Amino acid sequence: MIDCTPKSTKDMVFSSNESKTMIYSILEQKMPFPKNGVCGLLFYGVFGSGKTTYAEIFCKEFDFNLCGETDHAQIEYVDCATTSDLSKEMTRLNNHSNWRTISSSNQVYFIFDEADCLSKKSQMLLKTFMNRSNIVCILTTNYIDFIDYGVRDRCYEINFNAANNSDYLPRLKQIIADNNLKPPSDKFLLDLVKESNGSWRKLANYFSFHCEQKRNLSVVATAQKFEK
């Protein structure tokens, strides 16, 4: 099957130039981060838009830009949908945040996936936890209005809603080129984008299915040609 999973920031399709510019400004350390009490990024938007996938990519790239070492980022993942009560997790999270002594960048990374599932009490604990100076927190949510304003104030908010349909074309064409596929028409690709309703998860499956179908037909046609 064709792998449509993004491997770097350049593979991402952002909802707007504003979101893209913000991400690159932070990665390139033009925007102060983590600094002055802002240690988090809040990725919000529709289901399947790549928020969780990109959270880990961002942590690794940001850490590399800080220290120049690959795969040294200390990342802790918290599934908030199954861990709604952070009070039971705080000892572990606090211990993890002290791993900076073995991190070249002196930063420790936390991904709080589906942060809107956290109770009000847990969001208060998260807000306090985010007052540390040596951490970067990535929060993902489909429901930004469910996130405590104190938590949001400690984050740069990045919109992960659907991009303009045409913005997906460069990424899809790159995947086509990487896999040596015969390119379909732009109209066909745009129809797939429209059908996915902003979900990269669905778009990747639709795209992979149609490309595999087309590749299989091409193989059959080639075989039939040589049989004649």
Q: What is the CATH number of the domain that holds 30?
A: 3.40.50.300
Instruction: Give the CA distances from residue 198 to residues 20, 26, 69, 146, 154, in Å, rounded to whole numbers and listed in that order.
Output: 16, 25, 34, 21, 27
**The pLDDT value given to residue 102:** 59
Q: Are residues 136 and 213 in the same domain?
A: no
**The pLDDT value given to residue 227:** 47
Residue 4 within any structural domain of the chain:
no
Q: Are residues 118 and 170 in the same domain?
A: no
Residue 3 within any structural domain of the chain:
no
Show which of 108, 128, 159 is a domain's final residue: 159
Residues with pLDDT less than 70, the chain? 1, 99-103, 215-228
Q: Find the angle CA(31)-CA(34)-CA(37) to the nearest 5 degrees.
A: 110
Q: Which string of DSSP letters, residue by residue, matches 178-213?
A: HTTPPP--HHHHHHHHHHHTT-HHHHHHHHHHHHHH
Q: What are phi and psi of 77, to 5 degrees?
A: -105, 130
* Secondary structure E strands in 27-131: 40-44, 74-79, 108-113
The edge-to-edge listing of strands for the beta sheet with 40-44 is 74-79, 108-113, 135-141, 40-44, 155-159
Q: Are residues 144 and 38 in the same domain?
A: yes
Q: Are residues 40 and 139 in the same domain?
A: yes
**The pLDDT value given to residue 104:** 77
Q: Are residues 106 and 203 in the same domain?
A: no
**The pLDDT value given to residue 219:** 41
**The pLDDT value given to residue 8:** 97
Show which of 159, 175, 207 is a domain's final residue: 159
Judge whether 4 and 119 are in contact, CB under 8 Å.
no
Report the number of distinct structural domains present in the chain. Answer: 2
Show which of 144, 159, 174 is a domain's final residue: 159
Task: Name the residue range of residue 128's domain.
Answer: 9-159
Q: Are residues 146 and 189 in the same domain?
A: no
Judge whether 135 and 107 are in contact, CB under 8 Å.
yes
Residue 2 within any structural domain of the chain:
no
